[in-house]
Amino acid sequence: MGGALMSCGDDDKKDEPDNNHENSNNNQENPNNNQQNNNQENNNQENNNQENPQNIPANITLADAKTPYEVRTAMGMGWNLGNQFDAHVNGKSAEDAWNQPLATQATFDKVAAAGIKTVRIPVTWMGHIGDAPDYKIEDAWLDRVAEVVGYAEKAGLNAIVNIHHDGANSEHWLNIKECATNSTKQKETVAEIAALWKQIAEKFKDKGQFLIFEGFNEIHDGGWGWGANRNDGGKQYNAYNEWLQTFVDAVRSSGGNNETRWLGIPSYCTNIDLCEKLVLPTDPANKMMVAVHFYEPSIYTLEAKYTTWGHTGTNNARNPYSGNNEIYWQEDMVRPELKKMYDRYISKGIPAYVGEMGNVNRLDANQEKFRAYYFEYVAKCMHDNGMSAILWDNGVATAGNECHGYFNHGTGEWMNDYSEQMIQVLVKAMTTEDASYTLQSVYDAMK
């Protein structure tokens, strides 16, 4: 895809309580990307050089998983409890800041009953952090996060906890833009990262290996990967790589089950192409997995400016950066983009996962048919490249721009008439190991 961004998360409207999603970025695609897409003359959907083991036990756990494919199977299809603990207003996070009901055990039980195996719990910590040098996390906030992690454990789900909007657009204390040019700020930030992760790790040190820590979310300078990071001589990447090493060191030094817990290592801006700038931390346990996000084409999946997707579509996304108005980001661009993760990590024995993916509600039968196809094709492609995927859910049941509701966050009930269908399609794509179920068969079934 020539540098297109795989990102979704922070924007300058996130403090608004009526904001629908954790993400909306209008500049995710590479403005220099003139690659033609949707070449219908070449409909071979398979990547024939990849191993895809068929004999992994379906009930394997993260405690026993060692290879990328075992990790993928253990994590299965995932779900984000989005716009919940990551929500914030006026510099302070709160579970109901963006009008979500409080999460309950029933929520997690019904998510698990739907076939989901992993729940990502994005957490914004700002407003609950004390002064230097201790940077003590407010007990009530950490206790509530722990309570919800307990819901996941009781439901038999894996759980992921991270530091989320504290780094949004470099507007808060995780300011990569300033840290790249100010050594004093970088030193202070590294100390705060270490203090926070030590406290989080200490809180959960006795929790089993179902729990994953993910260092950060979508760290960038406000340019969504197309900012000063592109021309500052690597300063932002160097600062961020130091943050990641600090995260790993803090967790491992806390002892207990944290000595061998799986850790999620996001690339800069969770961008697939910017993985080339990622230096994996030194980890004595060698239990890290790389995290990226995927929402392409965002003008279809997030903004709903187009109504169809794929080789049978008639209103597919057009490249807004090209004078040729070509259709782009269809099947023939998805495959090589996701295969980059296989080539860079999976094939070398390093697990990876897609921490966020999604496609907004349409509530129109024909448009929902194409949304279901998008989900099945993309999730199957992620699976075949050795990665699990985690669906973004911001609890918004209506249709259109940034409306990503599937489960009611307070009850676990379906949000609209199409929610169950979409979850079933995603679970099928991520968990079916029948040799006859292939990317080609998914493609051919879409009429």
44 contacts: CB under 8 Å, gap ≥ 6: 440
Locate 215 and state its tokens.
Answer: 């260092």
Say which residue the tokens 């454990």 belong to: 153
Catalytic residue among 95, 192, 214, 218: 218
356 labelled catalytic? yes
16 catalytic residue (yes or no)? no
Q: Is the peptide bond before 133 cis (omega within 30 degrees of 0)?
A: yes
Residue type, 214: E
Task: Show Cβ contacts of residue 41 under 8 Å, excluding neighbours closer than 6 positions.
Answer: none
230 DSSP 8-state letter: G
C-alpha 217/C-alpha 127 separation (Å) is 18
**Sign of the torsion formed by the C-alpha atoms of 106, 107, 113 and 118:** negative
Distance from the first to the final alpha carbon of the chain: 26
> What separation in angstroms does the CA of 179 have from each of 8, 185, 227, 243?
22, 5, 14, 10
How far is C-alpha 126 from the chain's CA centre? 21
Pairwise CA distance, residues 175 & 166, whole Å: 9
| Cβ contact 122:164 at 8 Å | yes
CA distances for 113 relative to 41, 101, 423, angstroms: 41, 20, 11
Residue 148 and residue 364: Cα distance in Å, rounded?
Answer: 34
Annotated active-site residue in 70, 214, 296, 356: 356
Positive or negative: CA dihedral 434, 404, 341, 36: positive
SS3 state of residue 394: coil
> What phi and psi values does residue 35 have, to the nearest 5 degrees?
-75, 130
Question: Which residues does the annotation mark as catalytic?
Answer: 218, 356
